[in-house]
Structure 1
Amino acid sequence: MSILAVLLLSGMLISDLPKRQGTSMPISSRALIDAEDKEIFAEAQRWEKQRGVVVTEDFLYNWYRFKQGNTLGTPWGIADFVAALQEMPVIHIVVIPAPPRDYEVRINGKSYLATERSEYGVNPIFSLVEVEVTRKDKPPCRWKGIPERKQKISCNL
Structure 2
Amino acid sequence: MPRLHVGDTVVFTTTKGKWGGVPGRPAHWRLVAVLEVAERFETHAEAAALYAARRMRPPGNLVVAGNPPLPVPLTLHHGKVHDGDWDAVCVERAADCGVVLACETRVLDLVDPPPILQDDLLALFGTVPNTRTPPEISEAQFDRLLAIADARRPTERNALRRAA
TM-score normalised to structure 2 length = 0.21
Which has the greater radius of gyration? 2
Higher strand share: 1
